[in-house]
Structure 1
Amino acid sequence: MIHDKTILIVDDEPRTREGIRKTLEGWSAGRNHIQTAESGVEAVEWLKKKPADLLITDVRMPEFSGLSLIEAIQHFSNKPVVLIMSGHADFQYAQQAMKLGVVEYMLKPIDKEQLLQTVEKALKFSEQQRRIQTMQEMVDPKLLDVKERGEQRLNSQISEALTYVDTHLGEHVTMREIADLLHLNSSYFSVLFKEQIGINFIEYLTRKRIQRAKELLVQTTMPISEIAEQVGYQTDKYFITVFKSLEGLSPSKYRHSLSERNNK
């Protein structure tokens, strides 16, 4: 079971709303937070103040429909995964809902087993989305710029140099070594690299190493000393200094902050 998640149920019919709440509370056994709102307006106000992992909303509600609610939260930074329910098999509603990113459309009356299966599936999807978002936020903006430059066609020798760096991050790599491999003068390679990439070779190598370190910090439980070695640093002390200079905090604090955020 998915633990410690917040689910918001929105329905103007008290019987339906309370029925779903009781079903989910029984399934959750106190492990998740189940909240309710009786209108789309109330739900929007609630979501402005607190994040939810999953929103379950009726489509047809007076004044402010479920679709209006979903549209209203599209710009929210912590947008929940959405399930919608309706007493009408209306294809047009379903079509509109899917365009807004709704993951499932459930017809009333909702079977309890179907509800629980759908909720579990949606919460797993929510976790995946959060992990993807975390990974995207971790990407060094300067490395993103490099990627965009690469899409605009780099010099073949510089492309080869980037590939070499990628495959030898854990080793002692020098600019002279790569220049020699490419049969180029070191000074010429240095100028060409900065011209094509936008940053100098040493900064690029450092940022690639720290980027890889961030991925290992989040995706594994490897000790800091081992991560330092994996990304080409001979001592964890120097690795920590370099990491802190780029990220503003130590590797262990970085790991802890992301882990804490993902578990909220």
Structure 2
Amino acid sequence: MKRARIYHRGRDVWAQVIEGETKLRLPDGAQLPVNGAHWLPPVQRGAAVYALGLNYADHNKELGFAPKLETPLVFMKGDNCFVGHQGDTPRPANANQMHPECELVAVIGRPARNVTAEQGLACVGGYTVANDYAIREYLENYYRPNARVKNRDATTPIGPWIVDASDIPDPQNLRLTTRVNGALVQDGSTADMILSVAGLVSYLSGVTTLMPGDLILTGTPQGVHFCAAGDIVESEIEGVGKLVNHLVSA
């Protein structure tokens, strides 16, 4: 099952995606074509959001870092950085090195504290897609992404929906792609993640209790492509969905 969060008739509602992803079923049973939806980020307000940097060896090599870090690079993200499917992301005028990063997002489904990697996937309720834009000019320390890079308003498109974990039998065998104006600029596989989804759940649950609705953005593969205002960016993960975003002048 796929669940989307939309704005409909003055309300924030969750809807079920039906009929080959062409329609949404609202809580009252009414149906709405997906092309008529006002998409919101499928993020629970107040949820904790953990993001991974340098979790793909090929991307690390591309940036000139060691293939694997000794410990995971984890940073937090706030609510305001998210924007929904078909939304606009502002590109600052001086952000000449702003590039998209397609990422698999794990949505926690039940409380997790000190779980093993073998137990990790049982704590995941679903998956979605994120495009966690980076702005290289604003980086102060590659190993610790700062707020100016990763917490700007509307710079992390996410969605379009959440897919139940039961519909993704192996999250470590999914193709990730990014297209800018139709041209392929990222093409990778979750098989190349350094720390798997299960491993990330285990690691983070050893630090803090993960709660239902919490998100883990699991990192991005190689493929740095600098974007401009006016670009249309499509981030797609096999079996999960295609997330479309529009870059606009800030």
Identify the TM-score tier after normalising by the shorter chain.
under 0.3
- Higher-strand-fraction structure: 2
TM-score (norm 1): 0.24
| More relative contact order, 1 or 2 (CA 8 Å, 6+ apart) | 2
TM-score (norm 2): 0.25
